[in-house]
């Protein structure tokens, strides 16, 4: 085999390996990060996403050059340098940052570096046998265009990586509450007020303590009120694992133990948070003085809603996935995002907007939606509430939050509201000591639409429990 042909084979193998690595990174990003890193953070996703793109463009350049008519020594030296840089970078990571990786992660870094180093050595040895007077490097016009496009793509990957890292490492303003270490990651809980029983609030699927801040401040004038942020939202750390019913209950239980908040508690669950409140009460009934279910999710709602509700939800989750992809590059920082919820102050709206530009928000939102079927099944198997005090707060126009034209799907309003009313009445029947408060004009974000109604209902419920 002629030396130039050997060079083509080596460069082609280098390109194939780069292509394989890039594809694996992009199609299994979450799993790869969970496997490699001891603890997860949003910047890791941004970095690996752009690394995967960069490897694809690098492979494209190699493939174009391999197909050219002539390959000369200076060109090969470029790729020897690139391979040497990869090996050097891997060595520095192993020496300086080993504590951030799992054992398997370190083995992957070392193994890939050895393979890349092998390509570099093979290219270097081939160069030694090439004739010093090799002819000029010749490329057809289309190949020059392909190389230029690939180089532009490589540059884009680098810039996107820098932008993504900047967006992923931007911190929220100081947390209004306190942060506690739970399962290797921080969780934020904001408590205020005096007296008991303490209310512990769990939010809707993409909401956090901010969405109950104003109402919580008013309730705190009557009793102690705490709202916490699940992983990935608000001031809490990024989500590191799959969401399961046990994980949500265990996180809350550990958080309450570490925070020193004494029970028994009144658990408040809004929407998705209703699942968590009911699961916690089922596992720790002695620590629960009462339940407040605010527009709470029902375990059968996805089976009984009009099918258009499920279609619109699936479309919304798909949109979240698209936003997550853009967030990898930091691109959401340059997009005018609509306000997700009608928060009462400009400061709160600005905080919501800032959070919705972060990668961890969309990563966590996708995971929460994916966990809904398992949570619904778990809630369906909980024990009866018996005589546990229960307050159910329902919006009379809840369906207006998710009916009509939604993500290209026409969701019927009247039928959706009828089913929702039935589901909420069933929640109110779970306990022999229940109250069902209905705000006729409120939507699903009832604490924002009718805050005074919600405050009065909850404070009245607390007074009954006290006495």
The reply to whether 220 falls in a domain is: yes
The reply to whether 122 falls in a domain is: yes
Tokens encoding 231: 């992983």
Q: Taking the model in full, what pTM does it have? A: 0.71
| Per-residue three-class SS string for 382-427 | CCCCECCCEEEEEECCHHHHCCEEECCEEECHHHHHHHHHHHHHHH
Q: Are residues 148 and 10 in the same domain?
A: yes
Q: Are residues 333 and 460 in the same domain?
A: yes
**CATH classification at residue 398:** 3.40.50.1820
Q: Are residues 127 and 251 in the same domain?
A: no
Q: Are residues 59 and 7 in the same domain?
A: yes
Tokens encoding 467: 């006495």
Domain count, the chain: 2
The residue from 127, 144, 168 where one domain ends is: 168
Q: Answer whether 201's CB lies under 8 Å from 214's CB.
A: no
Q: Are residues 102 and 219 in the same domain?
A: no
In tens digits, what is the pLDDT along the chain, a chain of 467 residues?
466 677 788 888 888 888 888 888 888 776 677 677 766 666 677 677 778 888 888 888 888 777 777 777 777 788 888 888 888 888 888 888 877 787 777 888 888 888 888 888 888 887 777 654 444 334 344 444 444 454 454 454 444 444 444 444 455 678 899 999 998 888 999 999 999 899 999 999 989 999 999 999 999 999 999 999 999 899 898 887 889 999 999 999 999 999 999 889 999 999 999 999 999 999 999 999 999 999 999 999 999 999 999 999 998 888 888 877 777 666 666 677 766 777 888 888 888 888 887 778 888 899 999 999 999 999 999 999 999 999 999 999 998 888 888 878 889 999 999 999 999 999 999 999 999 999 999 999 999 999 999 999 999 999 999 87
Q: Are residues 433 and 288 in the same domain?
A: yes
The residue from 168, 189, 224 where one domain ends is: 168
Q: Are residues 222 and 201 in the same domain?
A: yes
Q: Kindly list the distances between the CA atom of residue 412 and the CA atoms of 143, 271, 399, 402, 409, in Å, as whole numbers in the listed order.
A: 55, 20, 9, 9, 10
The reply to whether 62 falls in a domain is: yes
Q: Are residues 147 and 195 in the same domain?
A: no
The reply to whether 173 falls in a domain is: no
The residue from 115, 139, 168 where one domain ends is: 168
pLDDT at residue 5, rounded to an integer: 74
The reply to whether 70 falls in a domain is: yes
Q: Are residues 129 and 189 in the same domain?
A: no
Residue 261 structural domain: 178-466
Q: Are residues 184 and 121 in the same domain?
A: no
CA distance 285 to 449: 32
CA distance 354 to 346: 12
The reply to whether 400 falls in a domain is: yes
State the burial class of residue 405 (Cβ atoms within 10 Å of its Cβ: 0-12, 13-18, 19+).
Answer: exposed
DSSP 7-37: HHHHHHHHHHHHHHHHHHHHHTHHHHHHHHB
The reply to whether 390 falls in a domain is: yes
Q: Are residues 216 and 276 in the same domain?
A: yes
Q: Answer whether 329's CB lies under 8 Å from 358's CB.
A: no
The reply to whether 401 falls in a domain is: yes
Residue whose entry in the numeric block shows the structure tokens 């928060």? 343
Q: Are residues 158 and 187 in the same domain?
A: no
């Amino acid at each position: 085999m002629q030396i130039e042909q050997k060079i083509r084979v080596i460069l082609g193998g280098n390109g194939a390996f780069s292509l394989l690595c890039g594809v694996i990174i992009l199609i299994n990003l979450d799993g790869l990060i969970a496997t490699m890193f001891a603890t997860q953070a949003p910047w890791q996703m941004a970095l690996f996403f752009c690394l995967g793109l960069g490897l694809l463009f690098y492979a494209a350049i190699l493939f174009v050059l391999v197909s050219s008519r002539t390959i000369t020594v200076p060109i090969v030296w470029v790729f020897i340098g690139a391979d040497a840089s990869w090996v050097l970078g891997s060595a520095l990571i192993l020496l300086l940052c080993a504590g951030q990786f799992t054992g398997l992660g370190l083995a992957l870094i070392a193994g890939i570096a050895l393979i890349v180093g092998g390509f570099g050595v093979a290219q270097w040895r081939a160069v030694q046998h090439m004739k010093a007077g090799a002819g000029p490097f010749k490329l057809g016009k289309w190949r020059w265009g392909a190389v230029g496009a690939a180089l532009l793509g490589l540059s884009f990957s680098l810039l996107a990586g820098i932008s993504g890292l900047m967006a992923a490492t931007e911190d929220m303003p100081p947390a209004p509450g306190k942060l506690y270490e739970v399962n290797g990651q921080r969780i934020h809980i904001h408590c205020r007020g005096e007296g008991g029983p303490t209310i512990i609030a769990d939010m809707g699927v993409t909401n956090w303590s901010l969405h109950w801040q104003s109402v919580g401040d008013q309730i705190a004038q009557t009793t102690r009120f705490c709202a916490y942020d699940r992983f990935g939202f608000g001031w809490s750390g990024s989500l590191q694992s799959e969401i399961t019913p046990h994980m949500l209950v265990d996180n809350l239980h550990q958080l309450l133990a570490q925070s020193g908040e004494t029970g028994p508690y009144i658990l408040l669950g809004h929407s998705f948070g209703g699942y968590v409140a009911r699961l916690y009460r089922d596992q720790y009934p002695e620590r629960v003085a009462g339940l407040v279910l605010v527009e709470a999710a029902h375990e059968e709602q996805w089976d009984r809603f009009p099918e258009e509700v499920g279609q619109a939800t699936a479309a919304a989750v798909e949109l979240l996935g698209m936003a997550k992809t853009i967030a990898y590059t930091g691109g959401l920082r340059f997009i005018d995002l609509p306000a997700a919820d009608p928060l009462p102050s400009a400061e709160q709206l600005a905080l919501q907007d800032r959070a919705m530009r972060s990668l961890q928000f969309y990563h966590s939102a996708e995971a929460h939606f994916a966990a809904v079927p398992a949570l619904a099944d778990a809630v369906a198997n909980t024990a009866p509430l018996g005589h546990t005090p229960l307050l159910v707060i329902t919006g009379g126009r809840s369906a207006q939050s998710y009916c009509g034209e939604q993500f290209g799907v026409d969701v019927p309003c009247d039928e959706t509201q009828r089913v929702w009313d039935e589901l909420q009445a069933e929640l109110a029947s779970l306990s022999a000591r229940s109250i069902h408060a209905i705000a006729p004009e409120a939507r699903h974000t009832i604490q924002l639409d009718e805050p005074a109604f919600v405050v009065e209902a909850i404070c009245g419920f607390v007074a009954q429990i006290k006495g």
